[in-house]
């Protein structure tokens, strides 16, 4: 399965794909430093819009972001359309549609400072994206664990505007944008060019944390996962998440990732047993991971610019869930693929 984490940048909420991560709770909860499995990439670039507020055809208030990536010498490029709801950062329902485009679909020239995201007719019934990027400024930084002299990432800020019309093909959200009227992404959109000597994914050291993470059992053939995250120090927060993944029949190579995140009571732990509860109407029910055995894992982490050591214990034990249900607006009700099996949780401190 793919591994994702939720990253909050300003007012934008991005669910980013991790490369080679382990110990990941799908649905936005990641807690393993990907630098453990860093691999070198081949000069890929990423064009990310700011996140804007839109109103769909059925009146639903949503947040829209467009992301594209390309690579020199590649035969194709990638386009992501992200729509999310929710009253706060990192909360609510999020769906990410992923499409494969020809290599000409996502383009940037460092000589002219111009680029574009152009789907033409490749999205078929989902709509069309035609956006132009114009460079404003740029800066460079060295990546962690990179190989000199190509261990430099370049971040280009600029303006992104054009036309977006996207049909979610669901009664819950309808469509957003327009085929005729242009759309502007205020603020600075970003284009990142990764050095060929930089690790793929998140090459930086993990941030130090004092948190508890948990995952529902993995069931072969199922793409549904429930997970949770709770900080145990500082500004204490606790969330529960549900995620699903769908390979779309058309167009070829298209897929959709689905996430639902809401606040939840902090899980209670008694030795190797974790009790999980919910509150509200977004995700309901409860679960327990019992009689779990632990395995330690220590690694370097960063806190306030200083290097420390994260001390983690991974637990796995008997999972039982009672009426655990995620109430998606686009998908309807989603439940775990099994009410029993082997669940897992981790306890982190430094």
Residue range(s) defining the domain that contains residue 241: 206-349
In a domain, 12, yes or no: no
CB 230 within 8 A of CB 267: yes
Q: Are residues 226 and 291 in the same domain?
A: yes
Count the domains in the chain: 2
Using alpha carbons, list the distances in angstroms from residue 137 to 10, 62, 157. Answer: 19, 29, 5
The DSSP secondary structure of 2-35, one letter per residue, reads --EEEEEETTEEEEEEPSS--SEETTTEE-S-GG
The number of residues in the chain equals: 350
User: Do 224 and 185 reside in the same domain of the chain?
Assistant: no
pLDDT tens track for 306-338: 999 999 999 999 999 999 999 999 999 999 999
Helix, strand, coil: what percent of the chain each, to 5? Answer: 5, 60, 35
15 assigned to some structural domain: no
- pLDDT digit string (tens) for 140-181? 988 777 777 778 889 999 999 999 999 999 999 999 999 999
Q: Is residue 280 part of a domain?
A: yes
Q: Please name the residues in contact with 51: beta carbons below 8 A apart, sequence gap of 6 or more.
A: 11, 12, 13, 63, 64, 65, 82
**Average pLDDT over every residue of 179-185:** 92
Percent of the chain with pLDDT over 70: 85
**pLDDT at residue 203 greater than cutoff 80:** no
Whether residue 213 sits in one domain with residue 177? no
Do 174 and 105 belong together in one domain? yes
Give me the residues paired with residue 186 across strands.
none
177-202 per-residue burial string, b: 16 or more CB within 10 A, e: under 16: beeeeebebebebbbebbbebbbbbb
pLDDT value at residue 201: 54
Highest-confidence range of 110-124, 138-152, 199-213, by mean pLDDT? 110-124
- The whole-angstrom separation of Cα 14 and Cα 115 is 22
């Amino acid at each position: 399965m793919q591994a994702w984490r939720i990253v909050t940048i300003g007012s934008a909420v991005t669910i980013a794909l991790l490369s080679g991560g382990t110990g990941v709770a799908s649905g936005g909860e990641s807690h393993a430093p990907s630098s453990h499995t860093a691999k070198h990439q081949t000069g890929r670039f990423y064009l990310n819009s700011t996140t804007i507020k839109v109103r769909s055809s059925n009146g639903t208030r949503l947040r829209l972001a467009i992301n594209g990536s390309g690579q020199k010498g590649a035969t194709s490029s990638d386009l992501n359309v992200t729509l999310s709801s929710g009253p706060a950062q990192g909360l609510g329902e999020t769906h990410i549609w992923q499409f494969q485009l020809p290599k000409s679909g996502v383009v940037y020239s460092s000589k002219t400072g111009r680029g574009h995201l152009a789907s033409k007719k490749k999205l078929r019934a989902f709509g069309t994206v035609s956006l132009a990027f114009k460079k404003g400024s740029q800066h460079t930084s060295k990546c962690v664990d990179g190989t000199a002299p190509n261990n430099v990432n370049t971040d280009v800020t600029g303006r992104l505007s054009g036309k977006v019309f996207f049909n979610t093909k669901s009664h819950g959200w309808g469509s957003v944008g327009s085929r005729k009227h242009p759309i502007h992404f205020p603020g600075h959109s970003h284009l990142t060019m990764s050095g060929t000597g930089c690790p793929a994914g998140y090459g930086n050291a993990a941030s130090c944390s004092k948190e508890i993470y948990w995952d529902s059992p993995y069931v072969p053939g199922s793409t549904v996962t429930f997970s949770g995250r709770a900080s145990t120090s500082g500004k204490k927060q606790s969330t529960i998440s549900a995620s699903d993944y769908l390979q779309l029949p058309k167009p070829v190579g298209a897929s959709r990732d689905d996430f639902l995140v809401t606040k939840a009571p902090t899980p209670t732990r008694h030795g190797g047993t974790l009790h999980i509860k919910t509150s509200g109407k977004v995700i309901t029910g409860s679960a327990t991971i019992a009689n779990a055995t632990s395995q330690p894992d220590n690694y370097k982490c960063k806190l306030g610019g200083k290097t420390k050591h994260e001390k983690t214990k991974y637990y796995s034990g008997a999972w039982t869930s009672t009426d655990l249900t995620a109430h998606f607006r686009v998908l309807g009700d989603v439940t775990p693929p099994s009410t029993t099996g082997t669940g897992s949780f981790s306890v982190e401190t430094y």
